[in-house]
Amino acid sequence: MKTPLTGAVLAALLTSTAAAEMLELEKDELTLGFIKLTDMAPLAVAYEQGYFLDEGLFVTLEAQANWKVLLDGVIDGTLDGAHMLAGQPLAATIGYGTEAHIVTPFSMDLNGNGITVSNEVWEAMKPNIPTTADGLPQHPISAEALAPVVETYRAEGRAFNMGMVFPVSTHNYELRYWLAAGGLNPGYYSPDNITGQIGADVYLSVTPPPQMPATLEAGTIHGYSVGEPWNQQAVFKGIGVPVITDYELWKNNPEKVFGITAEFAEQYPNTTLALTKALIRAAIWLDENDNANRMEAVEILSRSEYVGADAEVIANSMTGTFEYEKGDTRDVPDFNVFFRYNATYPFYSDAIWYLTQMRRWGQIAEARPDSWYDDVARSVYRPDIYLQAARLLVDEELANAPDFPWDSDGYKAPTPPEDIIDGVPYDGRQPNAYLDSLPIGLKGDQRVVGSEVQG
């Protein structure tokens, strides 16, 4: 738990940074939640660099046991806001699982995840993976290399199990995307069966992020999809090998968001703006001067009150590299992006991608028109709040105007096929056409009934 700074420390922080224009805050004492992952960094940095205090906010940061506890805390008011899976505000708003109207004025990062397999699975995959001239595995690695391994397990009567962090997590959808792109069915959900394992070739189940390495080591799962530092922890412990990063899966894909209830945003509009301002400043700090501050960020995140992993493990991915196997460290400068490429702007098209994946795997049971996807995205993602906060920062000379997409309609340009592992382009304006173009998954009016897809 973090406690608010007081006395001389508070005064020093207030006077040592550029003076911000103080909004008239409706609420100035806040408790914000997070999960122990490196992409909670904007919250830690906003606290440690005094950006919350600059806005007159007295913030307590509290680590949460799991994503459900975190969401429930925001809904019941125990938490004023939180580092969230991007799928959580969307799922809650449409009533999948816990029902509540959650909004996000701030997207926390791009990329940052990986898919790791056990040493045993890796050794079985390697004969199916091309090598480079220096004998190293050629990346990105397709799940086609995993398919024969899964078939061997099936022939031996063994289930092939993989972990992901939550049913509406990016990690679940990225793992499913990777498997399906390699011809493996990750299973469907239905209103009557929420395991997500209907018709599955690979059985996915929930494992909290910090428990991933231990669960892999115990043999309960054969691989997992998770954010850092838990892929690098597998390398560090010598128990597994990350086979692909989400940057290789889908270049500059959206990751976590900062979530608050719609009621909070309406009741405390200036407080919401102040929070968004502080988080934007933290994101700028994390990426400025070609990631010059990343080692300082690593030191902050390694503390027990934040991520609590070894600084060496966190630095493996936070400082522009990624270690796949011991000794196989490669440059991945954009593995963690916090501000570049408009990372913090809450794009409607990002929200719609998550909704398409919910529909693809049956979490959204019935077909919906394109207009429905747009309506849901606009009710949850709030670029209007974001740009208002950004304008205040620019006026205070704490941010640069060219760094923000002032004229955006909320939609990114379509993602080209070369930026996605299966070569299928994504256009958020045409969600149903996108779903129809994916070889595995629900299309059109299809729905899951019992153990089969109908329609």
Same domain, 87 and 180: no
Q: Does residue 140 have a cis peptide bond before it, meaning omega lies within 30 degrees of 0?
A: yes
- Asked, for residue 301, whether it belongs to a domain, the answer is yes
For tokens 């997500």, the residue is: 196
Based on the fold, state whether residues 287 and 162 are members of the same structural domain: no
Q: What pairing do the DSSP bridges indicate for beta strands 223-227 and 113-118?
A: antiparallel
- Report the pLDDT value the prediction gives residue 17, as an integer from 0 to 100: 42
Q: In CATH, what number is assigned to the domain containing residue 123?
A: 3.40.190.10
For residues 223 and 163, is the Cβ–Cβ distance under 8 A? Answer: yes
Residue at 357 is within a domain: no
Whole-angstrom distance, CA of residue 104 vs CA of residue 108: 10
Is 1 among the domain residues? no
- State residue 245 phi and psi, 5-degree precision: -95, 160
Burial 173-184 (b: 16+ CB within 10 A, else e): bbbbbbbbbbeb
Residues 173 and 226 in one domain: yes
Phi, psi of 365 (to 5 degrees): -75, -30
Q: Which residues contact 269 (CB under 8 A, 6 or more apart)?
A: 26
75 and 157 share one domain: no
Residue 212: which domain range?
113-252
Domain count, the chain: 2
- pLDDT tens string, the chain, 455 residues long: the values are 444 444 444 444 444 344 456 899 999 999 999 999 999 999 999 999 999 999 999 999 999 999 999 999 999 999 999 999 999 999 999 999 999 999 999 999 999 999 999 999 999 999 999 999 999 999 999 999 999 999 999 999 999 999 999 999 999 999 999 999 999 999 999 999 999 999 999 999 999 988 999 999 999 999 999 999 999 999 999 999 999 999 999 999 999 999 999 999 999 999 999 999 999 999 999 999 999 999 999 999 999 999 999 999 999 899 999 999 998 999 999 999 999 999 999 999 999 999 999 999 999 999 999 999 999 999 999 999 999 999 999 999 999 999 999 999 999 999 999 999 999 999 999 999 999 999 999 999 999 999 999 99
Sign of CA dihedral 148, 149, 155, 157: negative
Residue 441 domain flag: no
- Residue 432 corresponds to which tokens in the numbers above? 């149903």
**Claim to verify: residue 127 and residue 84 sit in the same structural domain:** no
Structure tokens at 221: 């799962």
Same domain, 121 and 216: yes
Q: Is the domain of 263 the same as that of 389?
A: yes
| Listed residues 234, 252, 270: the one ending a domain | 252
Can you give the pLDDT at residue 22? 85
In this structure, what are the phi and psi dihedrals at residue 171, rounded to the nearest 5 degrees?
Answer: -60, -40
22-37: buried (b, 16+ CB within 10 Å) or exposed (e) per residue? ebebeebebbbbbbbb
With left for phi above 0 and alpha for psi between -120 and 50, is residue 397 left, alpha or beta? left
Same domain, 199 and 159: yes
| CA atoms of 202 and 227, how far apart (whole Å) | 20
Let me know if residue 205 belongs to a domain: yes
Q: Using CA atoms, how far apart are residues 157 and 3, in angstroms rounded to an integer?
A: 52
Beta bridge partners of 60: 31
Same domain assignment for residues 107 and 213: no
Picking from 252, 274, 303, the residue at the C-terminal end of a domain is 252
Q: What is the model's pLDDT at position 194? A: 96
| Same-domain status, 213 and 138 | yes
* Residue closest to 221 by CA, chosen among 169, 168, 175: 175
Q: How many CB atoms lie within 10 A of CB 284?
A: 22
Instruction: Identify the DSSP state of 312.
Output: H
438 in Cβ contact with 449 (< 8 Å): no
| Cα 244 from Cα 247, distance rounded (Å) | 8
8 Å CB contact between 163 and 169: no
Rounded CA-CA distance 276/92 in Å is 21
Shared-domain flag, residues 54 and 72: yes
**Tokens describing residue 249:** 């899966």
Same domain, yes or no, for 259 and 393? yes
Long-range contacts (CB closer than 8 Å, 24 or more residues apart) made by 1-9: 1/60, 1/61, 1/62, 1/63, 1/305, 2/47, 2/59, 2/60, 2/61, 2/62, 2/305, 3/60, 4/29, 4/58, 4/59, 4/60, 5/53
User: Contact at 8 Å (CB) between 162 and 219?
Assistant: no
Contacts 24+ apart (CB under 8 A), 333-336: 333/291, 334/110, 334/111, 334/247, 334/251, 334/252, 335/111, 335/112, 335/245, 335/247, 336/38, 336/39, 336/41, 336/109, 336/111, 336/112, 336/228
Residues listed for the chain = 455
